[in-house]
Chain A
Amino acid sequence: MTDLPTHTEKTLGLVIDLDTCVGCHACVVACKAWNTENYGAPLSDTDAHGATPSGAWLNRVHSYEVTPEAGPPRIVHFPKSCLHCQDAPCVTVCPTGASYKRTEDGIVLVNEAECIGCGLCAWACPYGAREQDPSQKVMKKCTLCVDRIDNHNLPEIDREPACVRTCPAKARHFGDLSDPESHVSRLVAERGGMDLAPEQGTRPVNKYLPPRQKDEEIDILAPLLAPVDQEPGGFLGWLDRTLDRLG
C-alpha cells in the first residue's frame, strides 16, 4: 500500500477554538467555495433541488449538546475536517498511492488522477473526514488549502486556508505545530489544546482548544450588593449625603 514519510519538515495544521466557535458555518461554505473552483474536480451536489440533496464538503460543523453534572446544559459547536494525522491510516490503506502525506509540511492530499474511488481511505479514517465526490467519484478531503498557503498569486496576508481567513469569530488558526514558537503552538500550550480521539492512535495534527469553564456555580457566600437603605435616613439620606460629596 502507501508509505507515510518518517519525518516532515513542517507540521502544518489547524487549531480550532471551541470556546469561540458559534457554529455559524462560515468556514464550511468558504471551504466549499474555494475548493469547488480550485484543486481537482469541483465539489458537486446531487439531487441539489430535490428530496435528498447531498454534496461533497471538506469541512462540516457538528453541534453537540452537553449536560454537565452541575450547571445548565450547553451546546458545543465542533467543526471537523481532515486532521492531517501523523500516522494517517487513510494513506497506508490507499491501494494506488493516490493518498499521500507531504514530506515538506505533512499535509495529506489525494492525487485525483491516481484515485480509483474505491473508498478504502474513507473507511479507514476514524474521523469520517473524507468524502467521495458524488458526481466525479474521486475522494475529496481538506487540503489545508495547499493551493493558497504558498500561492504567490495571493497577497501574503491571504496565504492561509479559506476557512481561517473567513472565520468571523476568529476561532480558527493555522500554522506550524512543529515550531514551538508558532502562534498555533503557543495557543495549544496556553489553552490545553487537545487531540480528537487520541485513542485511535493516528496522532492528529489539528488540535482543539476546549471551551472555558462556564456557568460557574453561584457562591452563596459571595458578597452581594449591600443595601444603602439601612443607613440613617434610608435611601434618601444616602442620596443626599452622596450628592453633597459630588459637590
Chain B
Amino acid sequence: MKDSPHFDPAPRLGDEVRKTTCYMCACRCGIDVHMKGEEIAYIEGNRDHPINKGVLCAKGAAGIMQHTSAARLRAPLKRVGERGEGKFQEITWDEALTTVADRLSHIRATDPKKLAFFTGRDQSQSFTGFWAQQFGTPNYAAHGGFCSVNMAAAGIYTIGGAFWEFMSPDWENAQLFLLFGTAEDHDSNPIKLGLAKLKERGAKVIAVNPIRTGYNAIADEWVGITPGTDGLFVLSLIHCLLRSGKVDLDYLARWTNAGCLVDGDPKSPTHGLLLKDDRGTPLVLDRATRKPRPWDAAGVKPDLSGRYRRAGATHRSVFLHIADRYLSEDYAPERIGPKCGIDPAQIHRIAADLAHTAFDQSWQHKQDWTDMRGQRHTHVTARPVAMHAMRGISAHSNGFQTARAIHFLQLLLGSIDVPGGSRFKPPYPKPAHAHPRPHAGCKPGQPLDGPHLGFPQGPEDLLVEADGTPKRLDKAFSWENPLSIHGLMHMVISNAYAGDPYEIDTLFLYMANMAWNSTMNTSQVMGMLSDKDEDGNHVIPFIVCADAYSSEIVAYADIVLPDTTYLERHDCISLLDRPISEPDHAADAIRWPVVAPDRDVRPFQTVLIDLANRMGLPGFVADGQPLYADYADYMANHERRPGVGPLAGWRIAETGLTDGRGQPNGGQIDQYIKHGGFKTYEVPQAARYMKTFNTAWWDWSQQMGFTDAPAPAPFALWSEPLRRFQMAAEDGGPCPEPYRARMRLTHDPLPIWYAPLEDGHADPYEYPYYALTQRPAAMYHSWGGQNVWLRQIHGRNPLYLPTKLWEKCKFQDGDWARVASVHGEITVPVAHMAALNENTVWTWNAVGKRRGAWALSPKAPEATKGFLLNHIIHELHPEKGDGLRWSNSDPITGQAAWFDCRVKVEKVKAPKVSHPAIVRQDSPVGQGPAIVARHTGAAADPAPSLLDRLKARFL
C-alpha cells in the first residue's frame, strides 16, 4: 500500500531548544526543552550532558506533565480553616511577605533559635544554609538525615568521599560490581548507563538486596539478604579475604592507617587513638629503621605487623587489631550465612570472586604521578572490583557501621580511586577533618557563629550545653547521635511539639512533605501540627510552607508561599553544594526559566532573598542596600570566599575569562545558557587517580577553589573520631549516663555489626518480618508522583509478601492484611512476590496520598487503596524501663532508621479503604480535569461518535 499523506513525516520538534537541568529527581540530568512559541512541546535528554548523555528516565520525560500539573499552587495563601483542613484564602505577595518578614524579624531580634527552617528535596542547600546562618538560627538542615546520611558520613569519615555524589564505580573498567541495598534510586540514570556498560563487556553484577526488583532483577547473581544484616555479610567476606591473605598489603601499608600504631597503654589519655608525633601526625613503625616515623615521611615503609614497645606498653599496628578481630571464627560464613538468610557457600564464592577479580585480573595502568611523600610513580595498580550502596544500607540503625564495613572491604582490596574500582568525583576527596565543624552559636540580631553542619572530630565539637542538653531542636551533634552531619529532620516536629529541648515559634518548611510520606508516625505528626494548648493556641505557633504543589503538608501551613515549577526558575547545581561531577571532570550547571510562570508564584530562593532584604540580613544587605535583586543575581555575584562563587565557569580573571577562582561575571548565566546549561572542568591527567595522596590533585583542587590547602590523610580503617566518642563513654569520660553503654558499643573504631535497634523493642518472634519501602524508578524522588502519566504506571501499592508467609496465611489475590508494628497498625491490600527474602515484606513508598491532596479525586486509588508504612514507623522507640524514649535513628549519625521496622501480618476481611483512613483535606486548587490530551496549541476537539465516523466514511 502506498503511504498517504495522513501524517507529517518530518515534524519540527519546535521553534527553539532551551537547555536546562531536570528536577524530577536528584540526578540532575541535562534536558532539551523543545518550545513551540512559549509552550513546551517535548522534553528529551541532552546528549552533551555529562550525567545522562542524552538518555532520560520516565520521570524526566513526564516533566512536561509535572510542569502543567493541576496540583500547582497559583497564589500565596492564608489559612482560614483549621490546620490540616486545607481551607485557604488567596492573598497578595506583599501581604504574605510582610506577614512572614515581620514575624521572623521579631524572632531574630529576640531569640533566633525559635525559627526552625528545614528544607526537603532542596537542591540549593549551599544557599538556604547561608540564609539560615545569616538569620542566626541553629535550626537548619535539609532532608539528608532521613535520606542517606549514613552513606555520606561513613564514606567521608573513612575515605573522604562517599557513594553516589562523591564517588563513582569505574563503569569502563570494573569486572565485578557489587550493588548493596539499591532500589531504582541514587542515582538513577548514571547507574542504568553504567549497568549497560558492564553488561556490554560481560562484567559480573552481584546484587545484595532483600527485594529483586529493578537493577537487582538484571543482576547476574542475587544475594537475597535479610534486612539489616548486610554488615555481617560484608564482615564475613572480610574474614574470608583476610584468612586467605587476599588483601592488598602494599596499598594498605602506603595509603591507609593500617600501619599506624594504636596507643595500647590503658592508662594513657589517648588510649586507642593513633600514636602521633609532636605535629600531630600519626606514626607508623618503619620497616627499614624499625623506628616510629610519621606515616607520610619520605621513604617510610609502614610495617603492617608493627609492634612498638615504649614505657611498659605495647602499641600495635591497626592491621594487627584488624587481624585479631576479623580472623575470628565468629565471622566465618558458616556462622554468618544463617543470620543473613543466605547460603554460606554463596559467601565463600563471592569472596573468591572478589579475590580473583581484584588480584588475578589486575593490571598496571600507566600514569605518572607524585605522592605527598615526594615519591614518583609511573603506574597505578588497577583493581577491577567496584561497589555501590544506598538506602537499604543507610536506612538502618546500624547503617553507618555497615557502610563503613563496605568501604573497609574496598580498602582491603586496594580498590579505592584506582582503575576498575570506585573513583572520587571532584571536589572530593575531602577528608572529614578538612570540613568545617558544626556551629550553633546564636545571639539575638546576629548571624550564627559558623556553618550549621560539619564534621565533629570528638566530643569537644558537639553542640550541647554544659549539662549535655542539645543546642539544636533536632538534637543533631548531641550525645544521642554525635556525627549527625545532615541533621535530623524527622525529629523536628515531634521535638518542637514536645518543647524538647525547647519551644519554637515558627516552623518554616520548603519542599518537604512532613505531614505525609517524609515523616515517621504520620498520623500523630499530623496531630502535632494542628494541636492546640489549653488556651487555644497552637502548640507549634506558626507554620510557613513553600511548595509548588497542593501537597499534604501545605494543608497545615498558616502561610503558603507558592513556588514555581523547575522549568520556571533559576537554580545552580554548585560545586559548593552537591555537584554533578564525574571522576575525570568537575561540573556545575544551572536551571533557568525556560518558560514564564502563568500563575502568581515566585521561585522560592528569590523569595528568601526578598525576605532577607526586608529583614536587612547581613550578607544580603550592605549599607542599607540589597546586594541581590533575585536568585540569579546571587548565583552570578555572591562570593563565598574571595574569588569563589556558586558557579565556577566563566569567571573573570585579569586577562579574560577563567574557571574556578575568579571575579564575579554579570554575564555568567548567559554563558551557561549559551553552552547548554552546564560546564565541565577536566581533571588534569596526572591528578586522576589516588587523588587523596596525589600532589597534582591538590594543586588543581586549590587552583579551582575547592580547597585552600592540601589535606592528605591516610584512609581511616581505624576511625579516631569514633574512638574519641567511645572513650568519652568509658570510665571517667564526659558522656552522660543514659548514652554511655550504647556509645561504648556502637562507636567502635573498627567496623562492627549490631542488630537493628528496633529488634531490642519488638520481639522478633512476635514481629517476624522487616517492612521496607522502595521508590519506583518512575517516581523516585519526583516531587509529586501524582502527575497524570506517572500515576497510571504506579497508581497502586500493595504490600508484597514472600511465598512462605503468603502460603502460611492462605492469602489469595485481592486479599487484605492487618500489618502491625509495636507502634501501630495499618490495613492494606497485599500481593505475592517470590523474588523476595522470606523475612521481608515491602511496598512502594509515597504512592499513597491523602484524600483531597494533589488535585486528585478523593476516590483516587492512591487515596483509597494506597497507604503509607510511615504510620507504623515511630520516630521514638517505646519506653523500655529506663524512662527514655530513644530516637528511631542510627546512634552515630541520627539517620532515620526507616528499615528497622518489624511487623506481623494477618489476613483480614477486605475493607472498603485502607486504614488509617485520614480525613479529607480541602483542595485550594480544586480537582484536575477528567480528560487530558497533552498537546501544544488548542485543546483537542471532542471525539466524534462511531456513528459520525461511519457517516463521514461511507455517506
Contacts and interface: CB of A to CB of B under 8 A. Distances in A.
A137 interface: yes
Given A136-B940, A136-B943, A229-B243, A236 B305 contact: yes
Interface in B15-66: 41-45, 47, 52, 54-62, 64
Contact of B244 (A96, A111, A228): A228
Contacts of A223: 352
B3 A48 contact: no
B382 interface: no
B-side interface mostly: loop
Contact of A225 (B9, B217, B243): B243
A246 B788 contact: no
B674 to A, nearest CB: 19
Contacts of A49: 70, 788, 855-857, 860, 927-930
A232 interface: no
B377 interface: no
Interface in B905-955: 927-936, 940, 943-946, 949-950, 953
Interface string B285-311: 001000000000000010111000000
A77 interface: yes
Contacts of A147: 7-11
A170 B194 CA distance: 10
B789 interface: yes
B207 to A, nearest CB: 10
Best-surrounded residue of A38, A114, A162 (most CB of chain B within 10 A)? A38
Contact of A77 (B55, B56, B217): B217
Interface residues of B, number: 114
A29 B4 contact: no
Interface string A174-206: 000000000000000000000000000000000
A47 B58 contact: no
B214 interface: yes
A90 B635 CA distance: 57
Contact of A43 (B55, B56, B349, B934): B934
B196 A171 contact: yes
A65 interface: yes
Contacts of B945: 137
B220 A212 contact: yes
A242 B245 contact: yes
B923 to A, nearest CB: 10
A244 to B, nearest CB: 9
A33 B64 contact: yes
Contacts of A229: 243, 327
B777 A23 contact: yes
A211 B343 CA distance: 24
Nearest to A211: B218
A74 B834 CA distance: 8
A20 B196 contact: yes
Interface string A206-226: 000001101110101011111
B857 A3 contact: no
A76 interface: yes
A19 interface: yes
B931 A24 contact: no
Contacts of B220: 212, 214-215
Contacts of A9: none
A49 B199 CA distance: 39
Interface residues of A, number: 105
A151 B6 contact: no
B195 A26 contact: no
A42 B932 CA distance: 9
Given A72-B835, A117-B946, A166-B55, A54 B349 contact: no
A173 B243 CA distance: 46
Contacts of A212: 220
Contacts of B788: 45, 48-49, 53, 55
Contacts, number: 313
Nearest to A45: B932
B748 interface: no
Contact of B778 (A24, A45, A104, A238): A24
B57 A48 contact: no
Contacts of A97: 1
B243 A19 contact: no
Best-surrounded residue of B58, B215, B304 (most CB of chain A within 10 A)? B58
A73 to B, nearest CB: 4
Interface string B857-895: 101110010000000000000000000000000000000
A2 B950 CA distance: 18
A122 to B, nearest CB: 14
Contacts of A22: 184, 192, 195, 214-215, 217-218, 777
A69 interface: no
Contacts of B627: none
B792 interface: yes
Contacts of B253: 243, 246
Contacts of A124: none
Best-surrounded residue of A23, A34, A43 (most CB of chain B within 10 A)? A23
A168 B217 contact: no
Given A103-B1, A116-B950, A214 B221 contact: yes
B12 interface: yes
A51 B855 CA distance: 12
A100 to B, nearest CB: 4
Interface in A48-107: 48-51, 53-55, 57, 65, 67, 72-77, 96-97, 100-104
5 shortest interchain CB distances as A-B pairs: A49-B928, A225-B244, A168-B192, A73-B834, A170-B196
27 contacts: A25-B58, A29-B59, A38-B11, A40-B6, A43-B933, A43-B934, A46-B930, A48-B932, A51-B860, A55-B788, A73-B835, A76-B217, A101-B1, A146-B9, A147-B9, A154-B13, A165-B45, A167-B55, A168-B55, A218-B345, A222-B349, A222-B352, A223-B352, A235-B327, A236-B320, A243-B253, A246-B250
